[in-house]
Amino acid sequence: MTKSHAACRWSQLLVVYILTLVAGCASLGPQLPLPMTDDTEPDDVALSVRTLGSDGEFELLSSAEVARRLQAACCERPLHILALSSGGASGAFGAGALVGWTSLGTRPEFTVVTGVSAGALIAPLAFLGPSWDERVTAIYTTGLTDGLFQSRGLGALFGSSVYSAEPLRRLIEQYADEPMIEAIAREAARGRLLLVATTDFATGDAVIWDLGSIARYGGKYAKALFQSVLLASASVPGMLPPVILKVRTKGGVREETHVDGGVTLPFFIAPAPTDLPQATAASSQPAAVHLIIDGPLRHIPRRTHANAFSVFNRSVSAGLSHITRTTLEATVAAVHQRGISLDYAAIPASYPLKGDFNFGMDSQRSLFEFAATCAKTERLWVPVHSAGAERATQLPSRPATAQCPAEDAFIEHLAALTN
């Protein structure tokens, strides 16, 4: 071995050694806040909702209490619940589905809108209704999502994420502005609910936030908190940094660390199906649930490149699909037992998705337009019927082109699991 070769070899080993030390030091990092236990919160907080009172303190409401208040406020109106799932870049599917549904002319006013991760970003616009469709369309078809993942370079070695949160934060601040928050406050005053989920990083529990109550509180604090909750709900751990939220309860002010709601919930129905009114023969306006799943429920086998990002992306997709499918099966069983109607849509496995984190304009626009077309042509929804119910209409004949959700045999099969 020549001296030059030896020097090159030693240089390579030195670089590896330095990087190993850096990674070891970076793994220590600053500690994230660990909140003190709040004795005012009950032990059983499953599907409980954090709502902000006029005194600036958060209160935790059980699902049953949320259902009671909802029924008292909206008893004269049909109960329509829209749930929007997690899904990364596939949030364009949910956005397109809503805009296409508007074009069809059958989109109802939702009593409750829930969102997780990508679904949380769409939820405020879905809550406000068709008059905000222009803003939805602009976000997903004009390149506003392009470049959401901005690399932090070597800074990633010393921080809590590979990518910077600033592009996503700027996008949220751009569309979740004061006019939107004020419009949400007005609708929340009518008794309607806008709920999004994050994950408390310290406890590993899902946290459901009543964004309508935050909007009604108003002021700079409410605006900043509203935007930060949206950011937290879509902050994939490791890819985007955790979000620190200041929360005031009867126990005092505390800092909490929150990350993507999809870590603990792919989607959620609130109030829980068990707390929704039971459908009976005398029910003139039974509850109706509409679920948009921003992703496929299964994957067609395909080759994956042997690099870290491709392997990570494929693994995340497979894991999300499995968890979403399991949650969907449980939801189908729950609503079926209560006699509640459920329509859902998911991205067919045959659709050529470009990856969970591909926010490029062409990819986003294509998925948006696909969903909008499926909705406009009545090929979006797969119905789950209550016990003893029959289909009101037959599904349209299956075309030779790319399948819409209502034409996908696997998606349709899940709807029949309890029938």
CA distance linking residue 302 with residue 101, whole number of Å: 32
Question: Model confidence over 248-275: pLDDT tens digits?
Answer: 888 889 999 999 999 999 999 999 999 9
CA distance linking residue 181 with residue 211, whole number of Å: 9
Question: For tokens 């806040």, what's the residue?
Answer: 33
Q: Which residues have C-beta within 8 Å of that of residue 351, sequence separation ≥ 6?
A: 296, 367, 370, 402, 403
CB-based burial of residue 257 (10 Å sphere; 0-12 exposed, 13-18 middle, 19+ buried)?
buried
Task: Look at residue 318 and tell me whether its pLDDT is greater than 60.
Answer: yes
Q: How far is CA 7 from CA 17, 90, 229, 354, in A?
A: 15, 49, 52, 43
- Helix or strand (DSSP H, E) at 247: strand 243-249
- Asked whether the beta carbons of 51 and 63 are under 8 A apart, the reply is no
Question: Model confidence over 8-67: pLDDT tens digits?
Answer: 443 343 333 333 433 444 445 555 565 555 544 544 456 899 999 999 999 999 999 999
Mean pLDDT, rounded, for 184-206: 96
| pTM of the model as a whole | 0.85
CA angle 86, 212, 121 (to 5 degrees): 25
- Asked whether the beta carbons of 127 and 187 are under 8 A apart, the reply is yes
pLDDT band at 395 (very low <50, low <70, confident <90, very high): very low
Mean pLDDT, rounded, for 283-310: 77
CA distance linking residue 381 with residue 405, whole number of Å: 7
Question: Average pLDDT, whole number, for the chain?
Answer: 83
Mean pLDDT, rounded, for 165-176: 95
Helices (DSSP H) in 254-360: which residue ranges?
308-338
Q: What percent of the chain has pLDDT over 90?
A: 58
CA distance linking residue 12 with residue 4, whole number of Å: 12
Task: Look at residue 156 and tell me whether its pLDDT is greater than 60.
Answer: no
